Amino acid sequence: MSKLPVPIIGVILVFLTLVPVSCTRPDNSMINNKVSSQLLTQVNLRKAQIASPTPDRLTMMKGMGMNVDNMGIQRVFIHLNQPLNQPQIKELQTMGVTLYLDSWIPPVGSHPTGYLVADVPVDKLPELTKKDYVISLETAELQLQPQNQTQPQ
């Protein structure tokens, strides 16, 4: 049996002190085939930060590209077979979901679902997963930055 090098053990111990136990356990109310693992991780980080704010966790969340201005809101891609109809829109808005209807991308080619961007209260995500018309949910939190800024103009 090989032993882990001391620096790796230190990194693991630091990580475990930054992520509370409640954050390492999955939120059973959202475990189904509709929620991506990355979304579940981000939601659990938000809940942990709300319950027990720490600067280290906040830094980690920023490093993951998450918007940390409002811990109670998660930006998601809602995957659907077709655009939402008016009763579905009203239902989601009543839940406190902010829909960006102009972001709708329809199913195309080998992609069987379309999607739209929405801001969802973290406590409403389990309820959203129960909607028959919602195929899946993924995080839309990644803030992309230009990577090639050295090209001449």
Note the pLDDT of residue 111.
Answer: 86
Does some domain include residue 121?
A: yes
* Single-letter amino acid code for the residue at 30: M
How much is the pTM? Answer: 0.74
Note the pLDDT of residue 109.
Answer: 87
Note the pLDDT of residue 110.
Answer: 87
Rg of the chain on CA atoms, in Å: 18
Does some domain include residue 133?
A: yes
Question: Half-sphere exposure (CA, 13 Å, Cβ side) for 22?
Answer: 10
Task: Tell me the residue range of the domain where 78 lies.
Answer: 7-139
Does some domain include residue 2?
A: no
Does some domain include residue 145?
A: no
Does some domain include residue 25?
A: yes
Ranges of residues in the chain with a pLDDT under 70 are 1-31, 143-153
Residue 75 contacts residue 141 (beta carbons within 8 Å):
yes
Does some domain include residue 150?
A: no
Does some domain include residue 151?
A: no
| Total domains, the chain | 1
**pLDDT tens sequence across 104-143:** 999 988 889 999 999 999 999 999 999 999 999 999 997 6
Does some domain include residue 122?
A: yes
Among residues 124, 26, 20, the alpha carbon closest in space to that of 73 is found at: 124
In sequence order, which ranges of the chain are alpha helices (DSSP H)? 6-18, 21-24, 37-51, 55-63, 86-94, 125-129
